[in-house]
A and B are shown apart, each in its own frame.
Chain A
Amino acid sequence: MVERFGYVGWVLLLGGLVGIYLLNDGYYTTVALLMMLWAILAIGLNFILGYAGYFHLGLGAFYGLGAYGAAALGTKYQMPMIVALIVMPIAGAILSAIIGPLLLRTRDLYFAVATLALGMIISDVTNNWVSVTGGPIGIGGIQRPGVIGFGAFSIDGRTLPGMFIIVSTIFVALMIAAAIARKSNFVLILRGIKSDDLMTRSFGFPTTVYKVAAFAIAGAISALGGVLYAHIVQYISPEPFTFFAASFQAFVVLAVGGLGSLWGPVLGSVLLTGLPEFLDLDPHMKLIIYGAVLLIVTLVLPKGLASAAQVISRRRKTAMKEGTE
């Protein structure tokens, strides 16, 4: 059942991406780009929150790092996008590896608030260090890549459809990597840490190393998301990387989609990014409905949208025989 859903999922994902490309509509393409962006952040967050169970509320710091790094590399040093795509995730991972061991001394709500603080500090820096980040003025003029490839197989990165192919490719690659990682021993040990850190350590696994690795992966993927953001929107300012706009939103996307699941990030992002776009209401009514949807999804599916298939099949089973949890 679940295996088959996985197969269907890939077909739907690829079909959806191809469909949007063929539709060639600037609006749907932009919405799809934003959906992929949120899904990417949620995929990153999944490693530290979904698998290892650590409430990382400072994703925006690394997301912003990626975006500002990409902007600086592009506008100050005239580097092509590919350089940012390689350099910034590495920078995100290195930074995480440096501060990770310190932050990961804390747990639960302490870790949540510590990472939140990290995100807030970075937000303040992006807003106040005007000479480097432009402060609230932001950085504009971020150039997209030009023509890539030859002849019939070339894409023009400057255009929105070209950008869509680039982001889709990266996104699908990341999804495949996430699917593979999910079956790996690495993630198995992270899950072990989530259920019992001490026990996992007693089996001889250096849990701190694993946790820092998960933290670094989250940081690297978020930075990657930031690089993509900078090239999609071509203008960055502090606001999109603040707590409520970034870290909190990524957390909600993952939690609504389903912690520790492969498709959760995609489902959560499609629902929560799509919802405000397709509701045509008074802006505040829209927010109230957004909140209500969050509430209802969490109440009905505490394990997230991705668990819907399991919940339905379990209900069917319990209906057949007086079932126990």
Chain B
Amino acid sequence: MLTSKFRKFRLGAGVAGIISLFASSAIAETLTLFDLEALSGPGQTNGVAQANAVKLAVEKINESGGLQVGDTTYTIELDVHDDRSTPTAGVTAVQKMLSYGKPVLMVGSLSGAVTGAYLPIVRDRDDFISIVMGAAITLTAEDKALYHPRVSVEQYTTSTVTYIKSLPDVKRVGILTDNKHSGFVQQTPLLQELLTKEGFEVVGSEEFSFGATQFGPQISALVRGNPDIINIRGYGGDVARAIKQARDLGYTGQIVSSSGIVAKDVTDAQADAAMTDVRDLFVPLANDLIEGARNSEEAKAFEDAYQAAFKEPSGATSLSAYGGVYILARALQKAGSVDDIPAIRTALDELTLDEVPEIIEPMIPQDGGRIFKDHQSYFALVVRQWKDGRFIPAGFVE
């Protein structure tokens, strides 16, 4: 008697279990979103901040009940791969994603070299989409698998020339470039050409390696040409150190950089006193939007959520990463599918800015309000200056 009752109970429990299993699978399917990030190696400082923003966006989507595509609601599961800031590890990770035999939706990619390395593998594939959130790359018409909702490095070049042109009494320009940064290195000839065309004299073009600590030789070489302005192109930390040492070595002229330098970079470099007459021309960071009253509420909400989750300010590509995840999510909804890659690509091509209200950066809409033009997005840049221990916008370049 007792045993039969017990058996019945077990049976009942089993049936209930099976039913609940079915029920849960009907409600929430999981959608795997791959994320290729530079979590170790030289790119890690920016890579981690980018990966965090991706995580934040995905958590937000899941918390709001998941992503509804067609009749199904998906919980997004993030599968993060570390590319170790090296091309081979990146290629291996992408091969791993492809090896599951399902269409791959990928976000991330910080380094241009890593992106360049996986590009040949995915170029002709119809089961792969990558939303590239960092990586100063130049896409060609063949690169159908990649979308770049991130400022193009050429925009920095043209905006820098425009900015320098607007300054009075500037004749001689010195250039200092991070020679490991593929985007800036690629742009150096164009920058020189444009400056020369506008009647400036390029008095020196020097280089440093990413992570350099000693800028003495470069500075002293540039100063010999007696420049009115020095244009520094690289990452924030390096730029802060270069500025500090330029001032130490007696350069008092103007400096314009393109680096997304943040307050922590200045503090880390002890460069507080060196920041007069320094401007940074960059795609706006969350703080710039808050200070510059552009999309400031969204930017503040983002920055607060980011700092609550990760206990530090967001990084140079964090906003692009956050927006990038939503761009992909809205494109899936628009296409009504999570695995029909050609349809999703069409959706991405046709996606308009209005359809992705979560984009926080000041993106410039392309034809028909679209996000992408030939897979590339464009942004208003901000001119930032250091004041009272923080960067504030001095103006925007549309």
Q: Does a CB–CB distance below 8 Å link A and B in the complex?
A: yes
Residues of A within 8 A of B (CB): 25-31, 34, 127-128, 130, 135-138, 140-142, 160, 233-235, 237, 239-240, 245, 276-277, 283-284, 286-287
Interface centre among A233, A283, A286 (most CB of B within 10 A): A283
A240 touching B87, Cβ below 8 Å: yes
Partner of B98, one of A27, A140, A287: A27
B92 touching A27, Cβ below 8 Å: yes
Q: Give Cα A127 to B181, complex, Å.
A: 10
B92 touching A235, Cβ below 8 Å: no
Partner of A233, one of B39, B87, B179: B87
With known contacts A25-B99, A283-B39, A287-B40, A135–B179 Cβ distance under 8 A: yes
Query: What are the residues of chain B within 8 A of A34 when measuring CB–CB?
Result: 88, 92
A137 touching B186, Cβ below 8 Å: yes
Partner of A138, one of B40, B84, B99, B116: B116
> Would you list the 7 A-B pairs with minimal beta carbon distance, nearest first?
A27-B99, A234-B120, A283-B40, A30-B95, A27-B96, A136-B182, A237-B113
- Chain B's nearest CB lies how many Å from the CB of A46? 22
Q: Give Cα A25 to B179, complex, Å.
A: 37
B179 touching A240, Cβ below 8 Å: no
A137 touching B112, Cβ below 8 Å: yes
- Chain A's nearest CB lies how many Å from the CB of B15? 36
A127 touching B180, Cβ below 8 Å: yes
B99 touching A237, Cβ below 8 Å: no
B327-370 interface code vs A (CB 8 A; 1 in, 0 out): 00000000000000000000000000000000000000000000
With known contacts A28-B99, A137-B112, A138-B113, A233–B91 Cβ distance under 8 A: yes
With known contacts A127-B180, A135-B185, A136-B185, A27–B87 Cβ distance under 8 A: no
With known contacts A27-B98, A34-B92, A235–B185 Cβ distance under 8 A: no
Which residue on chain A has the smallest CB distance to residue B209? A127
Query: What are the residues of chain B within 8 A of A276 when measuring CB–CB?
Result: 89
Interface of chain B: mostly helix, strand, loop or mixed: helix
A30 touching B87, Cβ below 8 Å: no
A26 touching B180, Cβ below 8 Å: no
- Chain A's nearest CB lies how many Å from the CB of B2? 46
Query: What are the residues of chain A within 8 A of B113 when measuring CB–CB?
Result: 136, 138, 237, 239
A237 touching B98, Cβ below 8 Å: no
Query: What are the residues of chain A within 8 A of B88 when measuring CB–CB?
Result: 34, 233, 240
Interface of chain A: mostly helix, strand, loop or mixed: helix
Q: Give Cα A205 to B40, complex, Å.
A: 49
Which residue on chain B has the smallest CB distance to residue A158? B124
**On chain B, which size bracket covers the interface?**
20 to 34
Q: Give Cα A29 to B91, complex, Å.
A: 12
Residues of B within 8 A of A (CB): 39-40, 44, 82, 84-89, 91-92, 95-96, 98-99, 112-113, 116-117, 119-121, 179-182, 185-186, 207
Query: What are the residues of chain B within 8 A of A128 when measuring CB–CB?
Result: 179, 207
- Chain B's nearest CB lies how many Å from the CB of A162? 14
With known contacts A26-B95, A233-B87, A127–B119 Cβ distance under 8 A: no
Query: What are the residues of chain B within 8 A of A283 when measuring CB–CB?
Result: 39-40, 44, 82, 84
Query: What are the residues of chain B within 8 A of A138 when measuring CB–CB?
Result: 113, 116-117, 182
Query: What are the residues of chain B within 8 A of A27 when measuring CB–CB?
Result: 92, 95-96, 98-99
With known contacts A27-B95, A240-B86, A235–B120 Cβ distance under 8 A: yes
- Chain B's nearest CB lies how many Å from the CB of A154? 20
Q: Give Cα A130 to B180, complex, Å.
A: 11
Q: Give Cα A141 to B181, complex, Å.
A: 20
B185 touching A284, Cβ below 8 Å: no
Name 10 extra pairs, CB < 8 A, besides A136-B179, A276-B89, A277-B92. A26-B99, A31-B92, A135-B182, A135-B186, A136-B182, A137-B112, A237-B87, A239-B85, A240-B86, A283-B82
B119 touching A30, Cβ below 8 Å: no
Q: Give Cα A130 to B182, complex, Å.
A: 10
Q: List 6 A-B contacts (CB under 8 A).
A: A26-B96, A136-B179, A136-B180, A233-B91, A237-B113, A239-B85
Query: What are the residues of chain A within 8 A of B179 when measuring CB–CB?
Result: 127-128, 135-136
Q: Give Cα A239 to B117, complex, Å.
A: 11
Which residue on chain A has the smallest CB distance to residue B80? A283
Which residue on chain B has the smallest CB distance to residue A127? B179
B91 touching A136, Cβ below 8 Å: no
Which residue on chain A has the smallest CB distance to residue B83? A283
Query: What are the residues of chain B within 8 A of A135 when measuring CB–CB?
Result: 179, 182, 185-186
- Chain A's nearest CB lies how many Å from the CB of B17? 29
- Chain B's nearest CB lies how many Å from the CB of A64? 13
- Chain A's nearest CB lies how many Å from the CB of B306? 20
Partner of B112, one of A25, A26, A136: A136
- Chain B's nearest CB lies how many Å from the CB of A1? 36
Interface centre among B98, B99, B119, B181 (most CB of A within 10 A): B99
Query: What are the residues of chain A within 8 A of B182 when measuring CB–CB?
Result: 135-138, 237
Q: Give Cα A114 to B318, complex, Å.
A: 43
